[in-house]
Chain A
């Protein structure tokens, strides 16, 4: 009987020369991606896991059994109710952005399962599609029971179906990254940049915080997902290697574009959780420190190994690492009714920690929190509106997020006219991405564009309804404005 490694390639390497049709018809460039290369250029494609389908089924079954056991033991409503309210709201943010994005990744992987240029790549992508289906189902299953206790958890499924501004930004990213990308762009953008570049922030960084918080369910969930991601992320490297050989400028472009887009996503989803929504005593490091350890060092090293340059905007990115998520969080706190999770008002101890972790930039944020705190104190507990904005906010026409790049002194937003329409971008890289492929992005309407076109209401209260939120669902202050330090400060005359 043949040993595994003796027969494996007979099952994985199934490409042959076509005699009745042209190879370009079987793998059209418009679907398979560019550079279009004959199969010969891809024939050495390989990845280290080389998993067989039988191994895949056995391994995944074991993982699901293990996760089910954890769910049985600590996945009930009363187990979640024990956690700190801020942490639970970080959880709501995560679980909303996760499952249907993973479902979009099923589609991206399936496209690669048919149109990727080597059969071993197609096999690995098909297993990747099964992985992503699992990552869709797990959070939906785990959070479903919590809906009866806290309706905001309903956004685990609902989020991507709404017109909430975060969902619009999420879809803008996910539709391009996962749903519509051809297998080459998908492999470099999703597998190489997004998965190997950033997801360790979640799988290592946030998992360690979940451990400290005592949320073993979340910890086990992301660890279980990580084992899948680690395998299918390996698709990216060998694809990048081949593209680099034939079209290095395009490879660099894809890296630069997707690093920026991924960065904005993680700055919000992970930045909020690590620096604001995790209780202070459980924070093992700041978002910036995790980024430095798990993204900057490792990703920069792998770019170097491939002979790639750091993205051209690297210095702007490093500046943003110190302030972008802080700018967005302060903005989101004062527009919390526009999101589906509650936000916390950072108190003196938390702000001292943030100053320690962000010594070069925190002084710019401090006056904003002093102002919000002062108004929260004047309003007293339970009065949300006094620390809430009422004017519509402006959104970037590329990333669709609020215009929070730059600093409080010099917001880096920039306007641009294209074919008679005015656009605004939060940053130079967002404008650069738009200008490089305007046909991809020009027709999309931001929230402001929808308001001006009469498709969305201008009044914030009505706009919140357009976002799919009701008073029961919309975000509030985590503590209802009732913080011991706020009362003490008043008593002390501070």
Chain B
């Protein structure tokens, strides 16, 4: 199932709507948002980035469904060490 998410990449100037599959991992979600913002934000190695939801960093191997993400939820993609 396709899940549209409100995505905010650290360093970017705006929020985007990224369309992901419910079986996509957080690693894949990071990469999708980086790709979507690539003309404004230079990509960094995705291993250093995490998906953050409500102040918590999600495991990169977790899928969208496992993370309980629903359509139009907000996700942030930011470095691993960021405390939100």
Which of chain A's residues have a CB closer than 8 A to the CB of B10? 408-409
Contact partner of A413 among B15, B18, B36, B71, CB < 8 A?
Answer: B15
Per-position binary interface string of chain B over residues 64-80, scored 1 when its CB falls under 8 Å from any chain A CB and 0 otherwise: 00000001111010000
Contact partner of A391 among B11, B17, B41, B74, CB < 8 A?
Answer: B17
Q: Does B6 interact with chain A (Cβ within 8 Å)? A: yes
Which of chain B's residues have a CB closer than 8 A to the CB of A409? 10-11
Bound CA–CA A464/B25 (angstroms) = 31
Bound CA–CA A327/B13 (angstroms) = 5
Contact of A394 with B13 in the complex, beta carbons under 8 Å? no
Q: Does A330 interact with chain B (Cβ within 8 Å)? A: yes
Contacts A368-B41, A371-B40, A388-B39: A415 and B15 contacting too (C-beta < 8 A)?
Answer: no
Contact partner of A411 among B8, B36, B40, B72, CB < 8 A?
Answer: B8
Per-position binary interface string of chain B over residues 18-41, scored 1 when its CB falls under 8 Å from any chain A CB and 0 otherwise: 110000000000000000110111
Q: Does A101 interact with chain B (Cβ within 8 Å)? A: no
Number of B interface residues, CB 8 Å? 25
Bound CA–CA A365/B12 (angstroms) = 9
Chain B nearest Cβ from A89, distance in angstroms: 20
Q: Does A56 interact with chain B (Cβ within 8 Å)? A: no
Contact of B16 with A392 in the complex, beta carbons under 8 Å? yes
Bound CA–CA A178/B6 (angstroms) = 32
Chain A, range 343-394, C-beta contacts under 8 Å to B: 365, 367-368, 370-372, 374-375, 386-394
A residues with CB within 8 A of B = 326-328, 330-331, 334, 365, 367-368, 370-372, 374-375, 386-394, 402-404, 408-409, 411, 413-415, 422, 424, 448, 451-452, 458
B residues with CB within 8 A of A = 4, 6-8, 10-19, 36-37, 39-42, 71-74, 76
25 A-B pairs whose Cβ atoms sit less than 8 Å apart in the complex:
A327-B13, A327-B14, A330-B40, A331-B13, A331-B40, A365-B13, A368-B12, A368-B41, A371-B40, A371-B41, A386-B39, A389-B39, A391-B37, A393-B14, A394-B14, A394-B15, A404-B15, A408-B13, A409-B11, A411-B8, A413-B8, A413-B74, A414-B74, A422-B72, A448-B72
